Amino acid sequence: MHTKSIAVGNGKGKRWAKTPKGAAPADDCLTLSDVIKMLGYADRTKEAKNIIQSGLVRVDGDVCKDPARALGLMDIIQLQKIGKSYRVSVQKKNLVLTEIAAKDAKNKLCRVIGKKVLAGNKVQVNLHDGTNILYDKPVSVNDTIILKIPDRKVDKILPYEVGKQAIIVSGRHRGETGKITEIVGGTASRKSQTTVDEIQTLTEYAFVVGADKSLV
């Protein structure tokens, strides 16, 4: 498996040329044009723009011609002409791009961060990437939904529970992976805590990525 590290955040590691725009949080994302350069498919911003605006790049299954499109955690990038696909993940302080198989590029993992009942008792499920879906079956905050892309149909739910595989996506243990061994509910004065292997972190920092084995 091929992984390229991408520096993000404050300081010298911050490499994007424009303010990213899109669903991903602006403080933890990359522009599509910079991703193309970082992957080595273009040396200059103008070359990256030409590749993108020619319709050669897909993000989450859809052709994207916007060089400033923000890419964040679990987004899928495909360069179909050369048969390469990548997933955005995390390692320590950095976002990383991991090359994945074509079959894996058909699925996107999304963490449930909220739910809202709309008119007609329809349930809107809010996802970590800033998007939402309508879903009429049981799902809880912190669960992971596997979406088929680009149609964004729900393929599977990974419940947030002991025994599931998780990656810590924020905090000082960011990038660590392992099995959830304990979940302690929150109180009025304390947030919920989750233990991943022997690492205790906030529940909101742990992202379920598999049942018996990790999918990322």
Domain ranges of the chain: 3-102, 106-158, 165-210
* Phi, psi dihedral angles at 199 (to 5 degrees): -100, 125
106-158 CATH pick, 1.20.58.110, 2.40.50.740, 2.60.120.560, 3.10.450.230: 2.40.50.740
Q: What is the mean pLDDT of residues 12-34?
A: 56
Superfamily (CATH) of domain 3-102: RNA-binding S4 domain (3.10.290.10)
On the question of pLDDT at 6 being above 80, the answer is: no
Which residues have C-beta within 8 Å of that of residue 78, sequence separation ≥ 6?
A: 57, 58, 59, 61, 84, 85, 86, 105
* Whether the Cβ atoms of residue 18 and residue 70 lie closer than 8 Å to each other: no
Q: What is the mean pLDDT of residues 179-185?
A: 96
In this predicted model, what pLDDT tens digit does every residue of 46-55 receive, in sequence order?
A: 999 999 999 9
CA 13 to chain centre: 20
Which letter does DSSP use for residue 213 in this model? Answer: S
Q: pTM for the whole thing?
A: 0.84
In this predicted model, what pLDDT tens digit does every residue of 112-166 receive, in sequence order?
A: 999 998 988 889 999 999 999 999 899 999 999 999 999 999 999 999 999 999 9
Task: Please tell me the distance from the alpha carbon of residue 55 to that of residue 44, in angstroms, as a whole number.
Answer: 18
Q: What is the pLDDT of residue 188?
A: 87
Which tops the pLDDT comparison, 52 or 92?
Answer: 52
Which residues have C-beta within 8 Å of that of residue 81, sequence separation ≥ 6?
A: 56
Q: What is the pLDDT of residue 28?
A: 75
Q: What is the pLDDT of residue 32?
A: 95
Half-sphere exposure of 52 (CA within 13 A, CB side): 22
